């Protein structure tokens, strides 16, 4: 299977790119100021920030000028914020300082900062920059994923990962690994779009070499890699055993799938059994906050959400994300590390997990399992060990 890249309608909400616009007065036609507004942030504004992050950002505008060489003023607005009006800068350079946590606190949402350059008799120029507030944990950005925060967990480097007994009888991590290395200068993996606030929300993206320490599990031995002590990165055989155990619970006459192929059997909807979501309970009264009226129309489950946005888009051939495996796969997509830069793709479309299994035909590649929101099949792919980065789960040693 070749992983396709698709432009998401809302991808602009998952990046920190500037939206530049010129505003026209609807009642009269005024000439424009020259140039376009740009803003320098100190420190640099990431695409995502953590709730209650008290960092004070200094924003310095530039780029707009008066056609006659006169002075240009700058005013600022934060939305949502304490005021819906612009606040004129009192600084000589037009700069503005802001702490997103002062007003926003722990509310998970998108915040937009708009800078407007103005002068009498001219149409203002503006630039807008957006940042998304996220958090991990029980009241964090990921909701309805099938997590039990009162259950068991394993800790690594100060981060707790929920664990559970899966249908195959093994203890699996239910969340993506977010380990970032040991020591002040050590960096392992990368967070989504290199925003550290996303590290323990989506988990980090690792190359196979990073995840396993370049150690193969093809001989059947467990590969600890970056997993906690007493845990290891599952082989493709272990992933497949989990898939077969999950499907046998639903289909008693299930024929086990081999581990060297895609997970596919007749018209069985396999992928949804791994997608993060929750089964709907027909016994929940309509007065309960967990009641979902869609159950009256045949809906089996509801998708996990990220800041209230659906993570797994519904496709009829796939069905609702029933998550009977318990893996609670998040469609974090994947990354590629090329020429010293990370490039991220496939968020909200793919969940991809490394196995400890090397590709039998190409020693430069290793095997991963791919869940795609548009397919009922779970694919078996092989990708470059040193440049392709995916999510990692761990399973407890027996």
pLDDT digit string, tens, across residues 294-305: 666 678 999 999
Which string of DSSP letters, residue by residue, matches 259-302? TTS-B--TT---GGGTBSEEE--TTS-TTSTT--GGGGGT--EE
Strand-pairing partners, residue 303, are 277
What confidence tier does 22 reach under pLDDT thresholds 50, 70, 90?
very low
**Do 45 and 24 meet the contact criterion of CB atoms below 8 Å apart?**
no
Q: Which of the listed residues 87, 117, 134 is the one where a domain comes to its end?
A: 134
Q: Same domain, yes or no, for 122 and 40?
A: yes
Q: Which of 228, 204, 232, 210 is nearest to 220 (CA)?
A: 232
Element (H, E) at 241: helix 236-250
Radius of gyration, alpha carbons of the chain: 24
Peptide bond just before 10 cis, omega within 30 deg: no
pLDDT band at 64 (very low <50, low <70, confident <90, very high): very high
* Same domain? 284 vs 373: yes
Predicted pLDDT at 57: 98
Asked if residues 352 and 391 have their Cβ atoms less than 8 Å apart, the reply is yes
pLDDT at residue 16, as a whole number: 40
Residue 149 to residue 158: CA distance in whole angstroms: 16
What does the pLDDT read at residue 295?
65
Predicted pLDDT of residue 28 = 66
Is 89 in the same domain as 230?
A: no
Domain that holds residue 16: 11-134
Q: Are 298 and 247 part of one and the same domain? A: yes
Query: How many separate domains does the chain show?
Result: 2
Q: Are strands 159-165 and 153-156 parallel, antiparallel or unpaired?
A: antiparallel
Tell me if 49 sits within 8 A of 90, measured CB to CB. Answer: no
pLDDT of 299 reads: 83
113 and 17 in a common domain: yes
Whether residues 253 and 382 share a domain: the answer is yes
Phi and psi for 97 in degrees, rounded to 5? -115, 140
Are residue 216 and residue 329 in the same domain, yes or no? yes
Could you check whether the bond before residue 378 is cis, i.e. omega within 30 degrees of 0? no
Q: Quote the pLDDT of residue 143.
A: 98
Distances (CA, A) of 111 to 108, 128, 138, 319, 343: 9, 10, 22, 33, 24
Q: Which residue has the higher pLDDT, 281 or 98?
A: 98
Cα(81)–Cα(46) distance, rounded to whole angstroms?
19
Q: Indicate whether 274 belongs to any domain.
A: yes
289 within a domain of the structure (yes/no): yes
Same domain, yes or no: 97 and 234: no
57 belongs to a structural domain = yes
Task: Please identify, among 134, 165, 184, the residue that sits at the C-terminal boundary of a domain.
Answer: 134
Query: According to the model, what pLDDT value does residue 31 have?
Result: 96
For 167-266, where are the alpha helices, taking DSSP H only?
208-212, 236-250
Q: What is the average per-residue pLDDT within 242-259?
A: 97
265 and 391 assigned to the same domain? yes
Q: Domain check: are 77 and 173 in the same one?
A: no
Q: pLDDT for 333-366, tens place per residue?
A: 999 999 999 999 999 999 999 999 999 999 999 9
Domain-located, residue 239: yes
Sequence-ordered list of residues with C-beta below 8 angstroms from that of 313, at least 6 positions apart, any chain: 303, 348, 373
pTM: 0.89
pLDDT > 70: percent of the chain: 89
Cα–Cα distance measured from residue 392 to residue 213, given in angstroms and rounded to the nearest whole number? 13
Look at residue 33 and tell me whether its pLDDT is greater than 90.
yes
Q: Residue 3: pLDDT above 80?
A: no
Query: Model confidence at 182, in pLDDT bands (50, 70, 90)?
Result: confident
- Would 3 be classed as within a structural domain? no
Q: Please provide the size of the chain in residues.
A: 398
User: Rounded to 5, what percent of the chain is helix, strand, coil?
Assistant: 10, 35, 55
Q: What is the dihedral of CA 20, 26, 31, 35, to 10 degrees?
A: 0
The pLDDT, as a whole number, for residue 15 is 39
DSSP secondary structure letter of residue 198? G
Pair 199, 59 in one domain: no
Q: Residue 326: is its pLDDT beyond 70?
A: yes
Distance CA(313)–CA(113), nearest Å, equals 29
Residue 169 lies in a domain: yes
Quick check: 252 pLDDT over 60? yes
Residue 106 lies in a domain: yes
Burial of 163 from C-beta contacts in 10 A (0-12 / 13-18 / 19+) = buried
* pLDDT at residue 20 greater than cutoff 70: no
Q: Mean pLDDT for the chain?
A: 92
Q: Are residues 257 and 307 in the same domain?
A: yes
* Structural domain ending residue among the three candidates 89, 106, 134: 134
Rounded to whole angstroms, the Cα distance separating 352 from 367 reads 10
Q: Looking at residue 78, which CATH number applies to its domain?
A: 2.60.40.10
5 domain residue, yes or no:
no
Between 1-15, 84-98, 195-209, 230-244, the lowest mean confidence (pLDDT) is in 1-15
**C-beta of residue 344 within 8 angstroms of C-beta of residue 193:** yes
């Amino acid at each position: 299977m070749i992983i396709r890249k698709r432009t998401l309608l809302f991808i602009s909400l998952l990046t920190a790119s500037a939206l530049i616009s010129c505003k026209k007065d609807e009642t009269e036609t005024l000439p424009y100021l020259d140039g376009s507004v740009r803003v320098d942030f100190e420190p640099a504004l990431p695409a995502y920030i953590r709730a209650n992050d008290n960092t004070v950002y200094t924003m310095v505008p530039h780029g707009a000028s008066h056609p006659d060489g006169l002075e240009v003023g700058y005013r600022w607005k934060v939305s949502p914020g304490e005021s819906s009006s612009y606040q004129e800068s009192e600084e000589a350079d037009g700069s503005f300082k802001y702490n997103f946590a002062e007003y926003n606190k722990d509310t998970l949402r998108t915040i937009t900062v708009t800078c407007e350059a103005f002068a009498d008799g001219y149409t203002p120029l503006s630039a807008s920059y957006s940042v998304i507030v996220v958090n991990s944990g029980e009241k964090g950005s990921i909701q309805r994923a099938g997590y039990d925060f009162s259950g068991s967990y394993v800790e690594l480097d100060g981060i707790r990962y929920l664990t559970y007994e899966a249908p195959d009888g093994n203890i699996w991590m239910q969340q993506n690994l977010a380990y970032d290395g040991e020591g002040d200068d050590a960096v392992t993996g990368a967070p989504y779009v290199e925003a550290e606030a996303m590290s323990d929300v989506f988990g980090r993206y690792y190359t196979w070499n990073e995840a396993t320490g370049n150690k193969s599990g093809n001989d059947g031995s467990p590969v600890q890699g970056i997993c906690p002590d007493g845990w290891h990165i599952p082989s493709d055989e272990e992933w497949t055993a989990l898939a077969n155990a999950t499907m046998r619970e639903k289909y008693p006459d299930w024929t086990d799938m081999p581990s060297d192929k895609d997970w596919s059997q007749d018209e069985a909807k396999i992928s949804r059994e791994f997608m993060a979501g929750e089964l709907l309970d027909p016994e929940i009264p309509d007065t309960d906050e967990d009641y979902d009226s869609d159950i009256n129309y045949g809906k089996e489950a509801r998708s996990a959400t990220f800041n209230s946005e659906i993570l797994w888009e519904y496709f009829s051939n796939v069905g609702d994300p029933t998550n009977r495996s318990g893996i609670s796969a998040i469609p974090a997509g994947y990354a590629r590390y090329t020429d010293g830069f990370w490039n991220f793709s496939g968020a909200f479309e793919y969940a991809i997990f490394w196995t400890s299994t090397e590709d039998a035909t190409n020693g430069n590649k290793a095997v991963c399992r791919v869940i795609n929101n548009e397919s009922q099949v779970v694919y078996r792919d092989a990708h470059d060990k040193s440049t392709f980065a995916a999510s990692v789960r761990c399973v407890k040693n027996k």
